[in-house]
Amino acid sequence: MLKLRELPELTPPPGLWERVLETQRVRAATRRLRRRAVAAAAAIAMAGVSAALMLDRPRGPMRVVLPPASPTTALVVREPASYAPLVEESERLERLLAELPSRRVMAGSTAGTIAGLEDRIAFVDAQLSYAAARDLAPTYREALWGERVELMNALVYVRSGLAPGY
Protein backbone atom coordinates (compact mmCIF):
# COMPACT_ATOMS: atom_id res chain seq x y z
CA MET A 1 0.00 0.00 0.00
CA LEU A 2 1.34 3.37 -1.06
CA LYS A 3 1.46 6.14 1.46
CA LEU A 4 0.30 9.60 0.43
CA ARG A 5 3.43 11.21 1.82
CA GLU A 6 5.56 9.20 -0.50
CA LEU A 7 3.84 10.56 -3.60
CA PRO A 8 5.84 13.11 -5.56
CA GLU A 9 4.79 16.74 -5.17
CA LEU A 10 3.49 18.23 -8.41
CA THR A 11 3.83 21.88 -9.28
CA PRO A 12 1.02 23.50 -11.25
CA PRO A 13 1.75 24.91 -14.69
CA PRO A 14 2.69 28.61 -14.73
CA GLY A 15 -0.33 30.95 -14.66
CA LEU A 16 -2.81 28.23 -13.61
CA TRP A 17 -4.00 29.98 -10.46
CA GLU A 18 -4.38 33.29 -12.31
CA ARG A 19 -6.58 31.56 -14.93
CA VAL A 20 -8.67 29.91 -12.20
CA LEU A 21 -9.20 33.25 -10.44
CA GLU A 22 -10.05 35.01 -13.72
CA THR A 23 -12.59 32.31 -14.60
CA GLN A 24 -14.25 32.70 -11.21
CA ARG A 25 -14.34 36.49 -11.59
CA VAL A 26 -15.97 36.21 -15.03
CA ARG A 27 -18.53 33.70 -13.74
CA ALA A 28 -19.43 35.96 -10.80
CA ALA A 29 -19.83 38.96 -13.13
CA THR A 30 -22.04 36.90 -15.46
CA ARG A 31 -24.22 35.82 -12.54
CA ARG A 32 -24.61 39.46 -11.43
CA LEU A 33 -25.59 40.53 -14.95
CA ARG A 34 -28.07 37.69 -15.23
CA ARG A 35 -29.66 38.59 -11.87
CA ARG A 36 -30.00 42.24 -12.89
CA ALA A 37 -31.48 41.31 -16.26
CA VAL A 38 -34.02 39.04 -14.58
CA ALA A 39 -34.90 41.76 -12.05
CA ALA A 40 -35.31 44.35 -14.82
CA ALA A 41 -37.45 41.98 -16.88
CA ALA A 42 -39.58 41.24 -13.82
CA ALA A 43 -40.03 44.96 -13.17
CA ILE A 44 -41.11 45.57 -16.76
CA ALA A 45 -43.45 42.58 -16.69
CA MET A 46 -44.90 43.79 -13.40
CA ALA A 47 -45.48 47.24 -14.88
CA GLY A 48 -47.15 45.73 -17.93
CA VAL A 49 -49.41 43.45 -15.92
CA SER A 50 -50.30 46.26 -13.52
CA ALA A 51 -51.12 48.59 -16.42
CA ALA A 52 -53.25 45.89 -18.06
CA LEU A 53 -55.10 45.25 -14.82
CA MET A 54 -55.56 48.94 -14.25
CA LEU A 55 -57.02 49.44 -17.72
CA ASP A 56 -59.31 46.43 -17.24
CA ARG A 57 -60.75 47.37 -13.86
CA PRO A 58 -64.04 49.25 -13.49
CA ARG A 59 -63.76 53.01 -13.29
CA GLY A 60 -65.45 55.03 -10.61
CA PRO A 61 -68.52 54.35 -8.53
CA MET A 62 -71.58 52.88 -10.21
CA ARG A 63 -75.15 54.04 -9.87
CA VAL A 64 -78.30 52.49 -11.19
CA VAL A 65 -80.58 54.68 -13.27
CA LEU A 66 -84.18 53.70 -13.95
CA PRO A 67 -85.48 55.21 -17.19
CA PRO A 68 -88.92 56.80 -16.76
CA ALA A 69 -90.40 54.89 -19.73
CA SER A 70 -89.61 51.42 -18.41
CA PRO A 71 -89.47 50.90 -14.61
CA THR A 72 -88.24 47.32 -15.03
CA THR A 73 -85.14 48.17 -17.09
CA ALA A 74 -82.13 49.56 -15.26
CA LEU A 75 -79.06 51.20 -16.77
CA VAL A 76 -75.69 51.06 -15.07
CA VAL A 77 -73.82 54.33 -15.41
CA ARG A 78 -70.20 54.81 -14.35
CA GLU A 79 -69.33 58.03 -12.66
CA PRO A 80 -65.98 59.46 -13.78
CA ALA A 81 -63.35 58.61 -11.18
CA SER A 82 -60.91 61.15 -9.86
CA TYR A 83 -57.32 60.63 -10.91
CA ALA A 84 -55.92 63.13 -8.39
CA PRO A 85 -54.43 60.34 -6.19
CA LEU A 86 -52.56 59.03 -9.25
CA VAL A 87 -51.16 62.50 -9.98
CA GLU A 88 -50.01 62.77 -6.35
CA GLU A 89 -48.37 59.32 -6.50
CA SER A 90 -46.63 60.24 -9.75
CA GLU A 91 -45.26 63.41 -8.14
CA ARG A 92 -44.08 61.39 -5.11
CA LEU A 93 -42.27 58.94 -7.39
CA GLU A 94 -40.66 61.84 -9.30
CA ARG A 95 -39.30 63.19 -6.02
CA LEU A 96 -38.08 59.75 -4.98
CA LEU A 97 -36.37 59.28 -8.33
CA ALA A 98 -34.68 62.68 -8.03
CA GLU A 99 -33.29 61.68 -4.62
CA LEU A 100 -31.65 58.49 -5.90
CA PRO A 101 -27.91 58.80 -6.41
CA SER A 102 -26.85 58.90 -10.06
CA ARG A 103 -24.69 56.04 -11.30
CA ARG A 104 -21.99 56.61 -13.87
CA VAL A 105 -21.25 52.93 -14.46
CA MET A 106 -23.90 50.28 -15.06
CA ALA A 107 -24.48 47.29 -17.28
CA GLY A 108 -25.65 47.97 -20.81
CA SER A 109 -28.80 45.91 -20.28
CA THR A 110 -29.72 47.98 -17.22
CA ALA A 111 -29.07 51.23 -19.08
CA GLY A 112 -31.25 49.94 -21.92
CA THR A 113 -34.06 49.07 -19.51
CA ILE A 114 -33.87 52.52 -17.90
CA ALA A 115 -33.87 54.24 -21.30
CA GLY A 116 -36.85 52.17 -22.43
CA LEU A 117 -38.84 53.05 -19.31
CA GLU A 118 -37.97 56.73 -19.67
CA ASP A 119 -39.06 56.66 -23.33
CA ARG A 120 -42.39 55.06 -22.40
CA ILE A 121 -42.91 57.68 -19.67
CA ALA A 122 -42.20 60.46 -22.19
CA PHE A 123 -44.77 58.91 -24.57
CA VAL A 124 -47.41 58.75 -21.81
CA ASP A 125 -46.58 62.37 -20.88
CA ALA A 126 -47.21 63.39 -24.50
CA GLN A 127 -50.54 61.56 -24.43
CA LEU A 128 -51.44 63.29 -21.15
CA SER A 129 -50.67 66.69 -22.70
CA TYR A 130 -52.85 65.84 -25.69
CA ALA A 131 -55.65 64.61 -23.41
CA ALA A 132 -55.54 67.84 -21.40
CA ALA A 133 -55.44 70.04 -24.52
CA ARG A 134 -58.41 68.22 -26.06
CA ASP A 135 -60.26 67.92 -22.74
CA LEU A 136 -60.67 64.18 -23.20
CA ALA A 137 -62.73 61.99 -20.88
CA PRO A 138 -61.52 61.66 -17.28
CA THR A 139 -61.47 57.87 -17.55
CA TYR A 140 -58.95 58.13 -20.40
CA ARG A 141 -56.78 60.48 -18.36
CA GLU A 142 -57.05 58.22 -15.32
CA ALA A 143 -55.81 55.28 -17.40
CA LEU A 144 -52.87 57.35 -18.63
CA TRP A 145 -51.99 58.53 -15.11
CA GLY A 146 -52.24 54.94 -13.88
CA GLU A 147 -49.86 53.79 -16.60
CA ARG A 148 -47.46 56.61 -15.77
CA VAL A 149 -47.45 55.63 -12.08
CA GLU A 150 -46.73 51.99 -12.96
CA LEU A 151 -43.87 52.99 -15.28
CA MET A 152 -42.46 55.33 -12.62
CA ASN A 153 -42.66 52.50 -10.06
CA ALA A 154 -40.71 50.24 -12.41
CA LEU A 155 -38.12 52.97 -13.08
CA VAL A 156 -37.61 53.61 -9.36
CA TYR A 157 -37.30 49.86 -8.79
CA VAL A 158 -34.67 49.41 -11.51
CA ARG A 159 -32.72 52.54 -10.59
CA SER A 160 -32.70 51.76 -6.86
CA GLY A 161 -31.64 48.15 -7.56
CA LEU A 162 -28.23 49.35 -8.75
CA ALA A 163 -26.11 48.63 -5.72
CA PRO A 164 -22.43 49.60 -5.59
CA GLY A 165 -20.24 46.83 -6.92
CA TYR A 166 -22.63 45.80 -9.66
pLDDT greater at residue 43 or residue 29:
29
pLDDT tens, residue by residue, 118-163: 999 999 999 988 888 888 888 888 888 889 999 998 888 888 874 3
Q: What are the boundaries of each domain within the chain?
A: 25-160
Higher pLDDT, 68 or 159: 159
pLDDT at 60 over 80: no
Could you tell me if 73 and 57 are in contact, meaning their C-beta atoms sit under 8 angstroms apart? Answer: no
DSSP-based three-state secondary structure for 40 = helix
Euclidean distance between CA atoms 157 and 118, whole angstroms = 13
